[in-house]
Amino acid sequence: MFVCTLLTDPANPSLDPALIDNLRNAWAGGDVQWLAVDEAAAFSLPSIPDNRWDVWADVQKMGVDLVILPMEGRRKRMLLADMDSTMIQQECIDELADVAGVGDRVKDITARAMNGELNFEAAIRERVGLLKDLPEDVIGQVLEERITLMPGGPTLLATMKAHGAYAALVSGGFTAFTAAVAAKLGFDENRANTLLAAGGVLTGEVGVPILGQQAKVDALEEITGRLGLSEDDVLAVGDGANDLKMLGRAGLGVALHAKPAVAAQCDVRVNFGDLTALLYLQGYARSEFVSV
């Protein structure tokens, strides 16, 4: 059995009951379960419909995300999350670069790297090089003044952890940011790159080894092995090219507001919902959410 979940932006819930009923009837689905009024609904399916992606494209025009998953094992026991543009709304290195006066140059490199157009390691070295001599205390300033959590993140963490899940933040960004974000949201651990500094200023270099796409897969393997979990127990979420291997290996890999080239390679795409969409995909109703 499979389950079809449809959801919208919770800031502007507009899920039409008629759309749900028509789709359920066309696909011979089971009874509709409203996970949140006007926001998210689900129904069972005997098989994956042949016209799945045609319908997906149609409902995208209505501001609706549609995801079809196996019914068995929906609720995951581990969350493995990217940070930049996933758990937070910014790219940390872009914000540092903006303060340093090289924002446009760095943002262009970041966008191309996250879209898979550039080698990640070369791109991070080039961008960090442009931050040379930036005062180290700017990191704290950027964290306080420029970094905001992605909507739904605190509820996602609180709800999954209340049901026994383990949470790991694994980023191609920097430990100075992941440590703060992980502590704020309640992640159990975090992994990222290290910005090197000396004499109170950034050296323009990044610590080695550089954590990129493979490091996220390594984290998935290491943590599941340590906890006695299978990869099927993992929900992974990310938005960039360096997340693709992680998303492909996890039992449920979600491309969240992802770059087009990344989304095209993922079956589970959330373009309108916030991070609470990951709870709906696991079958949680809004009434089960743990508020923070």
Active site residues: 82, 84
Residue with tokens 């996970």: 35
Q: How far apart are CA 93 and CA 134, in angstroms?
A: 12
Q: How far apart are CA 137 and CA 219, in angstroms?
A: 29
Determine how many CB atoms are found less than 10 A away from the CB of residue 231.
Answer: 16
Q: How far apart are CA 276 and CA 292, in angstroms?
A: 13
Distance of CA 175 to the CA centre of its chain: 18
| Contact partners, residue 22, CB within 8 Å, separation at least 6 | none
Residue 99 main-chain phi, psi, to 5 deg: -65, -35
| Residues across the chain | 292
